[in-house]
Every structure is written in C-alpha cells, then in structure tokens.
Amino acid sequence: MTTSIKQADRDVAGGLAEEAVERCVALANHSETSIGLTRTYLSEPMKSVHRDVGAWMREAGMEVRVDAVGNIIGHYSADRPDAKKVMIGSHLDTVHNAGMYDGILGVVIGIEAIKSLNGARLPFAVEIVGFSEEEGVRFSSPFLGSTAIAGTFDDSLLARTDAQGRTLSQAIGDFGLNVDDIGKCVCPAGELLAYLEPHIEQGPVLETENNSLGIVSAIAGQTRMLVTFSGEAGHAGTVPMRTRIDALPAACELALYVERYGRCITDLFATVGQMTVEPNVSNVIPNLVRLSIDIRHPDDETRRVAVTQILMHANSIAERRKARFAIENRSDRGAVAMNQGISDVLKKAMQGEELPAPELVSGAGHDAMIMAHIAPTAMLFVRCKGGVSHHPDESVSIPDVADAIRVTAGFLKTFSTSTKG
Ligand code: HGY
Ligand code: MN
Ligand code: MN
C-alpha cells in the first residue's frame, strides 16, 4: 500500500481513535457514584451504557441485542448467509473508583474497527460484545457474562446475594432480563471462528519498552478466596489483653504474611484487597473479620502451592490465638495460553502496520480466559500511562488507540484471507 494511502488510513484511524477515547470518557459518566466511576453488574447506569453503546453499534452497521445475563452484542453480518463468526470485545462493568478504559476500551475499539470497514463485508460475521460482568465486584464472582456465552455459567451462583441482599437471579430480573433464558446465551459449538480481546495492559511493560501494542501469550491463573477469623467480642476497656480472642490482629497477621509470601516467589501476585470488621466500633473487641485473598501466577502449580501455604499459615494463626477460621473459595481459574494461530494473525496485522509485536503475560484476568475454552483466542494489549489501572488515573494515548484500531481492522482483513467463513 503506498505511503499516501497508508497515511490516509492513519488519518482515518486517528479520527476514529479520538472518537474512541471520547466515547470511553462519555461512558464514564454512567456511574453508581456521583464522584468517580463505579459500574457493577447490571447496576442502573448499565442501562445508559447499553443505550450509548447500542447506538454506536447500529451507527457502524450492526444489529444489536442484549442477552439474558446483560451482555450487549452488535452483529455485523457477513458477505454470505449462514457464515460463522468472529467475536471482538471486552467488559463494560468496572471495579469501584475505576479508570475509564479497563474493559470499555476493547468494546469501543471493536466498534471503531467495524466502522473503519466502511460497510465492506467479510466472509464471516463479526460480533462486538460488551460483557456485562468481568470484575466480579457485585456478586464476588467474575466472568458472569463470558461464562454465559461460553456455556460454563454456574447456575448455583443465581442464589448468591450482593451487599444489599439481592440475589443474582433477582438482579437479572430487576434489569428486565429473564433468568430462564440464560441457556440461550450460549454460543453454539463450532460457530465461533476466533475471539479477540483488545485491552489496556494494566501494567508498565509496554511503556517501559516504548511499544504502543503487545500480544498476550498467556493469562495468569487466579484464585480468589474469602477468609473469616472469628474471635470474641468484648468491652475494649475491661477485657484483659492476655485473655482476648481478637479477630482483627489475627487477620492483620495473615495479611502481612500474604504480602511477605508474595514478595518471595518470582511472578507471584498476592493481595488482600478487602477487609470487613464486625462489629466495627472503636470500643468493642472485633469478633469477626473477613478478608479477601487474591493469588495469581502464570504457573498453576506455583499458585496452588502458594494457596496451600497461605491457608496453612492462617490455620496456625487461628490455633495460636484460639480463634476460629473459615475459608470460602470464590473463584479459581487456571492459567490460559492464548491461541498461537490467532496470535500469528494478530502479529501479521501489526507487522502490516509496521509495528513491533512484543509478547507478554497478563497478570490481570480477562474474559479471554473464558472464551479460550470455546474458540481460538488472542489478546491485543494497548499501552496505558504508567501501567496504572483500577484507578481514576488510568489513561491511554490517541495514537496508541489509533494503532489498536488499525491492527484490529487489519486482523479482520488478514483473518478473512485465511478463512472460508
Ligand atoms: O482483576 C482482574 O484480574 C481483572 O481486572 N478483572
Ligand atoms: Mn479490571
Ligand atoms: Mn479488564
């Protein structure tokens, strides 16, 4: 392609990238909180997100549907009937006090890549998906959207309650969806040719090596648990120190151990992100403390050993302090390698844009680790400033987003030359 056409391509992608970033900023207005961005599973603001994203999908030539677990899907039909499909997307829910690009950018890049086709059809359909729940914030269970499409949705979760006591099943009904239709979300076997997830890196590697984009080789496995220490409540001014069974110092001992353990194993990530104290008043000795433990590693055996070690230590703390302790396993997912063939197509698209194609492991979890069980899957990482994520300072540059849109469109064009659809 001559440089002038290439430059024209770049200019178009630049305009689409500007629009993509504006759209991420616009979606950040749809929040459960008046300050900052928090948008958890099927919360009220998700309806406004569906309104905006649905409009953008239709404008790009897609038919739009929302499935029974709240995934919004734009369908861009193929150049022939009964063609198979490629899915591109990410998630639209956020953590508390989130950044504007985690998940959302991948959906918007997908829409812009379809827009850049200017109505040209491919030998396969393309579906842009905005998954409804990846973070696992509201019901402490991640990937509710993608597991429904992958056919691995855990029905036992329907009875799980959120902080307000609403069950998952009620939340689905509250949003105007029908829990009896969850089975209809499943993507029929063999229909999906590939899944591609564009996503911010959420780490510093691309920025450190001065690359705008990267290809994910594998996604680290992750274990999320809730550990509860139970002691004895009592008057803070009268119960002698040596006779107390105080649940809070027990939990703090464990939190410090988790950090220490995480620091001594290469590539291990060990985090206590949540801690609730009961009765949580200053003049009562805490009798119940619940803490979350999040363990990740690219190697599953190393992660499993870490989980065992940490729980053994928790047990020894409880025994020594005569406290009781309980574990609840909230989520446990093995590491997932990305598909080499699809990653090679992505690499070819990057080379077509004269971009380096560095490979890196993702410590963060993604819907791609679910979709990889039903289709050849690849992830495209986009540099984010300082590697900051899960924070309001999360940010991307328009040129990097333009690279990602061109590469995503290039992926579709390259893939279409190698598929029968
Ligand atoms: O927590 C994660 O791994 C991702 O951001 N959901
Ligand atoms: Mn996230
Ligand atoms: Mn994410």
Say what the pLDDT of residue 418 is.
79
Say what the pLDDT of residue 420 is.
56
Say what the pLDDT of residue 8 is.
67
pLDDT in tens, 363-373: 999 999 999 99
pLDDT in tens, 24-79: 999 999 999 999 999 999 999 999 999 999 999 999 999 999 999 999 999 999 99
pLDDT in tens, 149-197: 999 999 999 999 999 999 999 999 999 999 999 999 999 989 999 999 9
Position with higher pLDDT, 10 vs 354: 354
Q: Where in the chain is the domain with CATH 3.40.630.10?
A: 3-220+335-416
Say what the pLDDT of residue 400 is.
97
Cα 99 to middle of ligand 2, angstroms: 9
- Is 364 close to ligand 1, i.e. is its CB under 6 Å away? yes
Q: Are 271 and 294 in contact (CB under 8 A)?
A: yes
Q: What is the mean pLDDT of the chain?
A: 96
Q: How confident is the model at residue 413 (pLDDT cuts 50, 70, 90)?
A: very high
pLDDT in tens, 112-163: 999 999 999 999 999 999 999 999 999 999 999 999 999 999 999 999 999 9
279: cis peptide before it, omega within 30°?
yes
175/160 Cα distance (integer angstroms): 17
Ramachandran class of 342: left when φ > 0, alpha when ψ lies in -120 to 50, beta otherwise: alpha
117/136 Cα distance (integer angstroms): 34
Cα 199 to middle of ligand 2, angstroms: 10
- For the four alpha carbons of 201, 18, 347 and 104, in that order, the dihedral sign comes to positive
Q: Where in the chain is the domain with CATH 3.30.70.360?
A: 221-333
Angle at which helices 45-59 and 3-27 cross, to 10°? 160
Q: How confident is the model at residue 11 (pLDDT cuts 50, 70, 90)?
A: confident
**Residue 316, SS3?**
helix
350/297 Cα distance (integer angstroms): 28
**Residue 384, SS3?**
coil
In whole angstroms, what separates CA 384 from the centre of its chain?
Answer: 15
- Is 135 close to ligand 1, i.e. is its CB under 6 Å away? yes
Ligand nearest to the CA of 134: 1
Q: Going by CATH, does the domain composed of 3-220+335-416 fall within 3.30.70.100?
A: no
Say what the pLDDT of residue 14 is.
79
Ligand nearest to the CA of 90: 3
Is residue 419 pLDDT above 80, yes or no? no
Cα 221 to middle of ligand 1, angstroms: 11
Average pLDDT over residues 381-404: 97
61/69 Cα distance (integer angstroms): 24
Beta strands in 212-367 (DSSP E): 213-219, 221-230, 234-235, 269-271, 275-278, 284-285, 288-297, 324-333, 336-337, 359-362
- Is 365 close to ligand 1, i.e. is its CB under 6 Å away? yes
Among 92, 390, 394, which residue has the most ligand 1 atoms within 8 Å of its CB, making it the best to mutate? Answer: 390
Ligand 1 atom closest to Cα of 102? 5
287/289 Cα distance (integer angstroms): 7
pLDDT in tens, 234-276: 999 999 999 999 999 999 999 999 999 999 999 999 999 999 9
Q: How confident is the model at residue 2 (pLDDT cuts 50, 70, 90)?
A: low
Ligand nearest to the CA of 135: 1
Say what the pLDDT of residue 164 is.
96
Say what the pLDDT of residue 1 is.
44
Show Cβ contacts of residue 231 under 8 Å, excluding neighbours closer than 6 positions.
Answer: 244, 245, 246, 247, 250, 285, 286, 287, 288, 321, 323, 324
- Is 134 close to ligand 1, i.e. is its CB under 6 Å away? yes
The CA R_g of the chain, rounded to the nearest whole Å, is 23
Is residue 340 pLDDT above 80, yes or no? yes
- Is 298 close to ligand 1, i.e. is its CB under 6 Å away? no
Q: How confident is the model at residue 3 (pLDDT cuts 50, 70, 90)?
A: low
**Residue 331, SS3?**
strand
- Is 133 close to ligand 1, i.e. is its CB under 6 Å away? no
- Is 225 close to ligand 1, i.e. is its CB under 6 Å away? no
355/82 Cα distance (integer angstroms): 35
Say what the pLDDT of residue 13 is.
73
Q: CATH second-level architecture of 221-333?
A: 2-Layer Sandwich (3.30)
The bridge status of strand 213-219 relative to strand 359-362 is parallel
